[in-house]
Amino acid sequence: MCGIVGAVAARPVSAILLEGLKRLEYRGYDSAGLAVFDGEQIHRLRRAGKVRFLADAEQAAPLSGSLGIAHTRWATHGKPTEDNAHPHMSGEQLAIVHNGIIENFEPLKAALEEAGYQFSSDTDTEVIAHLIDQAVKAGASLQDAFLSTVSQLEGAFALGVMHKDFPGQILASRKGSPLVVGVGMGENFIASDQMALLQVTDRFIYLEEGDFVQITLDQVSIWDKTQQLVERPVKVFEHNLSVAEKGEFRHFMMKEIYEQPEVVKATMQGRITEDRLLEQSFGNGASELFDQTRQVQIIACGTSYHAGLIAKYWIEDIAGIPCAVEVASEFRYRKHVIPDNTLFITISQSGETADTLAALRAIKEQVLASLTICNVPGSSLVRESDLSLMTNAGPEIGVASTKAFTTQLVALLMLTVALARRNGLSEEQEANIIRGLHQLPSLLLAGVRLDKDIELLAQDFAEKNHALFLGRGPLYPVAMEGALKLKEISYIHAEAYPAGELKHGPLALVDKEMPVVTVAPNNALLDKLKANLQEVKARGGELFVFAGADKIQQEDGLKVRQMPDVPEFLEPIVYTIPLQLLSYHAAVLKGTDVDQPRNLAKSVTVE
Ligand code: AGP
């Protein structure tokens, strides 16, 4: 989704802005631009396509100046062309960058056209530029013009504005879209997330909903939504710069797949002993809330939704508590019957997904408490939920979620233990789960070591146009996640089915052109699954099966890859790895843009 960077400094800012845009590339975008003020004029440069095209253009005709704003755009209103790329300007004097969607831009645009403004783009953003300009021309200060404009906007936005007649400052605001302030030494910055600014500072202020901010060389002033001047804490972002580098890997996605054995340790660290869960990890008051919990409602999107579906099996099987799971975009727009004492859980890598956030806001007052399982500290979901459990996966740059998913599952399994304790889980059973979690890093490593073998398997996929994924029980959502991974990065159409549904329809699709991928658990459902595999084989379908050691034999038309022996409750986490690798290698063979697949964004901050 769109990314913003802005800088006020005593040194040239173009390189800082371009580096910031590169660091935001992972969010997904289709055009980029920057505007720099040199003390006399605002100079703007924009390009459709990659940030490197913009950087090449800037190198050919450098933009000098120590005040600037920049943007990566993910098209919503208007095609991804240079004309629609940000920054947008009103005349020569004002430049603006915007994330989000202005829902009432049409009537505002009509009124501005009536007043004589001409539009040079199809975007909703240009309306904001002209509205501010109109107010300034009517005599308002930049600050008043900005605030009166923002008060007219409906929708979600993060904005950054600079004006030639009000030099030395950037004004910014957020409502529904994320924005941070980077605090430097004699220079200050804004950005959509801290990743964009790690090369210049590690001190950040996370703006609250409705905040308005003015940054200058040596000052950051923030007003809240009631326009009271407020102090927001400056937080030091502890990071290792290598998290934003690919290192020896060709793609971030592969690096992140390989990181999984390590990052799950970070999810568990300090939260479990040798054989017990440390329940206080969920925060103050969590134990009392878990005591009262009688029902769980999980809301999420995409991969995080799949994590929720797996958690449903755990929460109902192990904790014996009813659990409902729904995608946020559906949940937010319907009436709900929420039973008493419902614990409302959101799952999100970014913590900024618009639908998930809206679902939380819609239901917050009707539930016992809200808990978010999230990877980004300080994100909106973390700030707006009663409780949070950070997944600690470290920044995930590849658009396709990998380590965020497996760490979400670890967090959800720990939550399951907390709930199950109140519903008959014995100390011995708890110890069994916790000891299993301690084995997880080495089990995931065994999965990752299948890499070379799976790379060979992927050759059979790269030429195909479709694939079916089958699973049973909690391995069905794993199959869904495998299908999502394959389609989002390789563009091969893939569907997942519970294996038992095969003969109720999808079997009609099976022929030699339709590979069928199956994750075969080592449990009571294995024999049923074997029968499903025979149904596929009998129709000439080519099967790719990931199964426990010696559970299914390789034969003609049936390629089996053996997985390590895994405790049943860990199967969904470990069996995810080969499916991630399969998608990755299929995408590399097809030559797609693995880390930034077409049309997709890492952080979906608009509906
Ligand atoms: C998965 O690979 C995608 N990146 C996408 O489905 C993602 O999981 C979804 O947009 C939800 O994002 P979130 O976890 O940041 O809320």
What pLDDT, in 10s, does the model give residues 528-552? Answer: 777 777 777 777 778 888 988 777 7
Ligand 1 mean position to 269 CA, how many Å? 24
**Residue 433 located in a structural domain:** no
Where in the sequence is the domain holding 317, given as residue range(s)? 246-425
**508 lies in a domain?**
yes
Computed over every residue of the chain, the mean pLDDT equals: 92
Among 149-153, 174-178, 362-366, 602-606, name the one with the lowest average pLDDT: 602-606
Most confident of 188-202, 294-308, 349-363, 551-565: 294-308
Question: Cα dist. 506→198, 534, 583 in Å?
Answer: 48, 15, 21
Q: What is the pLDDT of residue 200?
A: 93
Q: Indicate which residue's Cα is closest to atom 16 of ligand 1.
A: 348
Q: What is the pLDDT of residue 242?
A: 60
- Give, for ligand 1, the residue of 309, 489, 604, 605 to mutate: max count of ligand atoms closer than 8 Å to Cβ: 604
pLDDT at 241 over 60: no
- If asked whether residues 250 and 380 sit together in one domain, one would say yes
Whether 283 and 385 map to the same domain: the answer is yes
Could you tell me if residue 365 is inside a domain?
yes
Claim to verify: residue 195 and residue 335 sit in the same structural domain: no
Residue 561 is predicted with a pLDDT of: 87
Based on the fold, state whether residues 60 and 106 are members of the same structural domain: yes
One domain, residues 230 and 333: no
As given in the structure block, the two tokens for residue 578 are 């080969």
CATH number of the domain enclosing 385: 3.40.50.10490
| Nearest atom, ligand 1, residue 302 CA | 6
How confident is the model over 498-528, as pLDDT tens digits?
Answer: 988 888 988 888 888 889 999 887 666 667 7
* 606 found inside a domain: no
Ligand 1 touching residue 393 (CB < 6 A): no
The response to whether residue 348 sits with its C-beta less than 6 Å from ligand 1 reads yes
Give the CATH number for residue 60. 3.60.20.10
Q: Does 319 fall in a domain?
A: yes
Q: Tokens in use for 321?
A: 């508590």
**CB of residue 169 inside a 6 A radius of ligand 1:** no
Task: Determine what percent of the chain is predicted with pLDDT higher than 70.
Answer: 98
- Residue 155 — pLDDT band, cuts 50, 70, 90? confident
User: Residue 189: enclosing H or E segment and its boundaries?
Assistant: strand 188-191
Helix (H, G, I), strand (E, B) or coil at 199: coil
Same domain, 505 and 367: no
* Whether the Cβ atoms of residue 70 and residue 97 lie closer than 8 Å to each other: yes
- Active site positions, annotated: 2, 602
Q: How far apart are CA 580 and CA 571, in angstroms?
A: 15
The number of domains in the chain is 3
349 CA to centre of ligand 1 in angstroms = 7
Question: Of 192, 211, 236, which residue sits at a domain end?
Answer: 236
- Kindly state whether residue 71 falls inside one of the protein's structural domains: yes
Q: Give per-residue pLDDT as tens, 263-297.
A: 999 999 888 898 999 998 898 899 999 999 999 99
By the 8 A CB rule, do 162 and 141 touch?
no
Task: Clarify whether residues 290 and 179 are in a common domain.
Answer: no
State which ligand 1 atom lies nearest to the alpha carbon of 602.
4
Please write the tens of the pLDDT for every residue from 344-354: 999 999 999 99
- For residue 498, report the distance from its CA to the centre of ligand 1, in Å: 22
Question: Amino acid letter at 574?
Answer: V
Instruction: Identify the pLDDT of residue 575.
Output: 96
Do 56 and 168 have their domain in common?
A: yes
Q: What pLDDT, on a 0 to 100 scale, did the predictor assign at position 244?
A: 66
Domain co-membership, 473 together with 569: yes
Q: Is the CB of 356 under 6 A from ligand 1?
A: yes
Inside any domain, residue 439: no
Q: Which of 207, 236, 265 is the last residue of a domain?
A: 236
Q: Does 243 score more than 70 pLDDT?
A: no
Residue finishing a domain among 375, 393, 425: 425
What is the secondary structure of 155-193 as a DSSP string? Answer: EEEEEEEEETTSTT-EEEEEEBS--EEEE-SS-EEEESS
pLDDT tens track for 572-595: 999 999 999 999 999 999 999 999
Check if the beta carbon of residue 98 is closer than 8 Å to that of residue 128.
yes
Which pLDDT does position 240 carry in this prediction?
61
| Per-residue confidence (pLDDT) for residue 239, from 0 to 100 | 64
52 and 199 assigned to the same domain:
yes
Ligand 1 atom closest to the Cα of residue 402 is 2
Q: Is 604 in the pocket of ligand 1 (CB under 6 A)?
A: yes
In a domain, 442, yes or no: no
- The better pLDDT of the pair 440, 553 is held by 440
Tell me, using a 6 A CB cutoff, whether residue 474 lines ligand 1: no
Q: Which two tokens stand for residue 60?
A: 């050919």
Average pLDDT over residues 328-338: 89
| Cα(308)–Cα(219) distance, integer angstroms | 43
Q: Is the CB of 302 under 6 A from ligand 1?
A: yes
Spacing, Cα 581 to ligand 1 middle (Å):
18
Pocket test for ligand 1, best of 252, 253, 299, 303 (most atoms within 8 A of CB): 303
Confidence at residue 556, expressed as pLDDT on a 0 to 100 scale: 67
Could you tell me if 463 and 584 lie in one domain?
yes
Each residue's pLDDT tens digit, 168-192: 999 999 987 889 999 999 999 999 9
CB of 304 shorter than 6 A to ligand 1: yes
Å from CA of 382 to ligand 1 middle: 16
Question: Are 210 and 303 contained in the same domain?
Answer: no
Give start and end residues of each alpha helix (H) in 449-567.
451-462, 475-490, 526-538
Ligand 1 atom closest to 604 (CA) = 10
**Predicted TM-score of the model (pTM):** 0.77
At residue 32, φ and ψ (nearest 5 deg) are -150, 155
